[in-house]
Amino acid sequence: MSLIHAPPISPRHAHRVPTHPRPPTPISASQHPPTRIPHTPSHTFTTNLSSIPTPSISKTQSPNPIHPLPYRPFTTSHPHRARNTYNRFNSSSSSSPRQSLFHTLITRSKPHHFVLIGLGLSGVYFYNTEVVEMTGRRRFNCVSHAAELKMGAQSYREVLAQSQGRVLPDNHPLAQMVNRVLQRLIPQAPIEGADWRVHVIVDDGNANAFVLPGGKVFVYTGILPICQDEDGLAAVLGHEIAHVVARHPAERMSNSFLTLGTVFLISLLFDVSGNLSSMLVNLMWSLPNSRTQEAEADNIGLMMMAKACFNPEAAVRLWHRMQEQEKSAPPQFMSTHPSSYNREEAIRGWLEKAETIYQDNGCSTFGSYMPSFKKAYQTQSSYGW
């Protein structure tokens, strides 16, 4: 018999739930018959679910989303970038996916990978590098001469369509005068496959002229008062022909490929806005290269007009008049063309060489027999221009 007596159970502990619950007592079938739930569609249940209003959602439709706080993107040209920026705001990571890509390339790539990529890109660049024959400048050009001619033919059709009804006939004195100046410049312009044709467009408010690949020449009547004479017109046409001689249209197309690739890589690797990277590439590469082409065309055109016995000093006077015409020209670093003042000064530096060419070709007395420009220009008053 144990000498230790168990303490009496107090009334407040009488109904305590045991630590391990007892197994449920089986219930006989006579007490609660089982309820069978048949496998039927939802609309046959006792409770009619169709009476509860629920929104219908199709497969191609999503529930009304919870709109985030209003977000104003930096640019409207790339709306997807606004979403990425907003997600970065809520993200716990301090780097964006594009920054992660750059970080991955730097940390995981081997040094020889960058060497191989650099050698490959350099090989493509130098394989397509050529020298401008008349100036010795090296440039990148991956556009063939055939593609350049095709591009010029397409532009020719477009300009004719836009100028319909405003092109002077070939027998008009102004058209004849422009053609006469052109014929003296053509022998100095070695352009393969050129089919020369002059079109004078009546537009006194447009001081412009250009030559397309393939030899199609367009001169607007607004440039003629600035030219003043055939020597001035030769300076304009010589400059425009020089663009085609140096294949600047093909070079611009080639540079556009480099520009697009550079903008894409900068945007991808450094998470920079496409507009921002494009602006940087434009300021640092495209615009300076365009001004280089313009200066090169001034140089080549000046020598061409001197060989054709046009007075090269007329080019200096032309750009002086052009400078006076400029009212609100943008700064040179933001322009595709050098300023007229800088062009005038550059031509003065080349003038000695051009005058030597002019004298060596026996042109010192030839220019005094060319007064036809003034006679042709005087006739325009009878046509109302």
Number of neighbours of residue 219 by Cβ within 10 angstroms: 28
How far, in Å, CA of 134 to CA of 350, rounded? 14
How far, in Å, CA of 215 to CA of 234, rounded? 16
Ordered DSSP codes for 229-242: SHHHHHHHHHHHHH
How far, in Å, CA of 268 to CA of 89, rounded? 19
Please tell me what DSSP assigns to residue 192.
Answer: T
302 beta partners: none
| 148 counts as catalytic | no
How far, in Å, CA of 207 to CA of 222, rounded? 4
Q: At which residue do the structure tokens 């003065």 appear? A: 348
φ/ψ of residue 130, rounded to 5: -140, 175
Cβ atoms of 251 and 330 within 8 Å: the answer is no
How far, in Å, CA of 172 to CA of 166, rounded? 13
Give the strand order in the sheet containing 216-220.
197-201, 216-220, 209-212
Cβ atoms of 242 and 129 within 8 Å: the answer is no
Tokens linked to 58 = 């199709």
How far, in Å, CA of 344 to CA of 214, rounded? 29
| Annotated catalytic residue, options 148, 230, 240, 344 | 240
**Helix, strand and coil in the chain, % to nearest 5:** 55, 5, 40
SS3 category, 129: strand
SS3 category, 198: strand
Residues with catalytic roles: 240
